[in-house]
Amino acid sequence: MRDVIKLQRRTASGLEDVLSFGDIVASGSNANGDWVRWSDGTQICRSTIILTGLSIEDRAQVWASYSYTPPAAFVGEYDIYISKALA
């Protein structure tokens, strides 16, 4: 589990990097989310996390603590990228 969350805006140009990972060798899903592993060892996990009780104002910074377990184990340390969706 990681305590540090890195925020980064992702764009369609990042798709070129994904296409260079090679063939998909494994994928799956469970209660923690979905995952895909490529032949070069790259693994991407995707999860939906719902945080409640946060008050978010325009341009405000929001801090929250959350323990995350990815849907597939990683060999070493990994980065977490978050995108937000407000209801």
Q: Could you tell me the pLDDT band of residue 23, with boundaries at 50, 70 and 90?
A: confident
Task: Calculate the alpha carbon distances from 5 to 2, 13, 19, 25, 63 in Å.
Answer: 7, 22, 25, 28, 10
pTM for the model: 0.62
Mean pLDDT check: name the lowest of 12-16, 38-42, 55-59, 69-73: 12-16
Q: What gap in Å lies between CA 41 and CA 37, rounded to an integer?
A: 6
Cβ–Cβ under 8 Å, residues 48 and 68: no
Average pLDDT, whole number, for the chain? Answer: 75
Cβ–Cβ under 8 Å, residues 69 and 3: no
